[in-house]
């Protein structure tokens, strides 16, 4: 069953500088990230207000992708992405 995303689910992505620094060390690229978002398992509110955690899989592991919708510009900022531990 496809996920019913909020309005920001179809917005253009903006990759944060933090995310860009972490991509190489965590062994994924923008294509991998877009595929993880397309194949997301679900999402929930983050502990930091205004941010969301998207759950997905990459290389047979669970991942968390932290996003922050920018409602003024209608852009979804991808803050970071990392393998989920213990989930």
pLDDT tens digits for 7-37? 999 999 999 999 999 999 999 999 999 999 9
| pTM, rounded to two decimals | 0.92
Dist CA 8 CA 84 (whole Å): 23
Residue 36's pLDDT is what? Answer: 97
Distance CA 14, CA 69 (A): 10
The pLDDT of residue 26 is: 95
pLDDT interval class at 87 (50, 70, 90): low
User: How far is residue 11's CA from residue 43's CA, in Å, rounded to a whole number?
Assistant: 16
Question: For 81-86, what is the mean pLDDT?
Answer: 87
Distance of CA 5 to the CA centre of its chain: 13
Encoding tokens for residue 2? Answer: 């496809």
């Amino acid at each position: 069953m496809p996920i019913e995303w909020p309005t920001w689910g179809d917005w253009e992505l903006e990759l944060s500088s933090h995310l860009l620094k972490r991509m190489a060390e965590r062994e994924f690229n923008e294509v991998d990230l877009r595929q993880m978002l397309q194949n997301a398992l679900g999402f929930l509110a983050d502990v930091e207000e205004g941010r969301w955690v998207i759950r997905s899989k990459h290389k047979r592991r669970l991942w968390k992708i932290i996003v922050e919708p920018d409602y003024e510009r209608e852009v979804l900022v991808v803050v970071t992405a990392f393998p989920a531990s213990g989930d």
